[in-house]
Structure 1
Amino acid sequence: MSQPSPRSVALAMTGASGAQYGLRLLQCLVEADVQVSLMLSRPAQVVIGMETDLSLPGRSREIERFFTERYHARDGQIRVYDREQWTAPVASGSSPPDAMVICPCTTATLSAVATGASRSLLERAADVVLKERRPLILVVRETPFSEVHLENMLKLARMGVTIMPANPAFYHHPQGVDDLVDFMVSRVLDHLRIPNALIRRWGTEPEPEPDE
């Protein structure tokens, strides 16, 4: 029996390049009526300012209000938690999300998750999802990968974690950056079992007419 679509997702964004992936994923989760627990590392907030035209406020409640208004979320649909907010539901196995995505994911965060460091709420939330056997997806953004990175990815993959490096495809003929972002976000949504039509699927175009 296939797993149902998640009703709640913990979304963490770290300081890797690729803030657009996480922001677009947040928007799509809201549109799918998913409850989102959002965690932003301090470097993530810096990168969002560098890579987009967004200027996030400083406090979690203000960020919550900002994204709620930007993505037209229902009241309370997006909850933003501070780095050391240990009273957050995602910090406990008694209240885990249905799934968690770290997007984009730095190799430092990859290492912390692989070793169970739990030095921040973000890392603790990933540790909870692992121990409670919930889906965990890491959209790792780095190139090239060192042996350390690869060993950490293999270790987590053997635990059932989905390792999904930010490697967009080109068969859907992207016309710009947004199309490349949508490709990766679509693949994340697919693994969360959330229906989406962000991209043209492989083999869905009509076959060309044969030459006579």
Structure 2
Amino acid sequence: MKKIIVGITGASGSIFAHRIIESLLSLGHEVHLVATSNGEKVCAYELDQSFKTLVKHYQSLSKNEIAQNARLFVYDNENLFSQIASGSFKTDAMVVVPCSMGTLAKISLGLSENLLTRVADVMIKEQRKLVLVTRESPLSPIHLENMLKLSRLGVQIMPPVPAFYNKPQTLAESIDMSVGRILETLDVENPHHKIWRNENEI
């Protein structure tokens, strides 16, 4: 079982966070969830459900008898007294999905103005795995410089770029392929990640 922090910001792409949380819980992992206020609003808009309803759905997954170790913790983004704000609280990784360019900039500058950015700062200072699923297009020189700065510090920048080598037939399949790659980056084995194999090779 792994302890994974999932941060959600106000960028488009809530479906990736949704599927990652569902997958982690169904696989029996511990999820620590923190969302910005805009992140909650975008989730509600894009997924056609209130954020509270989504949290109830995740809580029901954490009580699944099949995934007995699954646990869900939800935090107030304004509460900097939360346990995940401290480096003494051991976690395996953090993923910010989707990661807005504003949040990217704050993390690159070490601005811990809320719980999400504070936890990202902790991950960097403690040299733990931090994955930013960045969402923006086109990218400005400022965005690229912030990404390069964080990449040089060991942060993994991972835009949800669709892959087509497995020939997805639906949008859901394409989304899950990206989810699988993100989970694999978090060192979480999952059924969504398919290794490329050329059937013409022996």
Same fold (TM over 0.5): yes
Cα RMSD after superposing both structures: 2.1
Paired residues of 2:25 and 2:61 also in contact (CA < 8 A) = no
For residue 66 of structure 1, report the CA deviation from its aligned partner.
3.9
Name segments (4+ residues, structure 1) moved above 3 Å. 62-66, 70-76
Instruction: Name the residue aligned to 2:149.
Output: 155
Instruction: Name the residue aligned to 1:174.
Output: 168
Query: Which ranges in structure 2 are unaligned for 5 or more consecutive residues?
Result: none
**TM-score if structure 1 supplies the norm length?**
0.87
2:46 matched to 1:55?
A: no
Paired residues of 1:106 and 1:140 also in contact (CA < 8 A) = yes
Kindly provide the amino acid, as one letter, of the partner of residue 143 in structure 1. Answer: S
For the residue of structure 2 that corresponds to 1:168, the secondary structure is coil
Deviation sequence 1:25-74 (CA, Å, 0-9, x none): 001111222111100111111111221132222xxxx8644421156556
Instruction: Name the residue aligned to 2:200.
Output: 207
CA distance in 2 between partners of 1:70 and 1:94 (Å): 28
For the residue of structure 2 that corresponds to 1:68, the secondary structure is helix
CA distance in 1 between partners of 2:152 and 2:51 (Å): 37
Paired residues of 2:30 and 2:69 also in contact (CA < 8 A) = no
Kindly provide the amino acid, as one letter, of the partner of residue 22 in structure 2. Answer: Q
* Count of paired positions: 199
Instruction: Name the residue aligned to 2:93.
Output: 99
2:113 matched to 1:115?
A: no
Instruction: Name the residue aligned to 2:23.
Output: 28
Shift of the 70–183 alpha-carbon distance from structure 1 to 2, 3 Å rule, reads same
Deviation sequence 1:75-110 (CA, Å, 0-9, x none): 981100001112211101111421100000001000
Kindly provide the amino acid, as one letter, of the partner of residue 165 in structure 1. Answer: P
Shift of the 143–119 alpha-carbon distance from structure 1 to 2, 3 Å rule, reads same
Paired residues of 2:133 and 2:158 also in contact (CA < 8 A) = yes
For residue 201 of structure 1, report the CA deviation from its aligned partner.
2.5
For the residue of structure 1 that corresponds to 2:96, the secondary structure is strand
Instruction: Name the residue aligned to 2:135.
Output: 141
Instruction: Name the residue aligned to 1:68.
Output: 59
Paired residues of 1:96 and 1:128 also in contact (CA < 8 A) = no
Deviation sequence 1:98-143 (CA, Å, 0-9, x none): 1100000001000011000000000000001110000000000100
Query: Which ranges in structure 1 are unaligned for 5 or more consecutive residues?
Result: 1-5
**TM-score if structure 2 supplies the norm length?**
0.91
Shift of the 175–199 alpha-carbon distance from structure 1 to 2, 3 Å rule, reads farther
Shift of the 136–11 alpha-carbon distance from structure 1 to 2, 3 Å rule, reads same
CA distance in 1 between partners of 2:144 and 2:77 (Å): 27
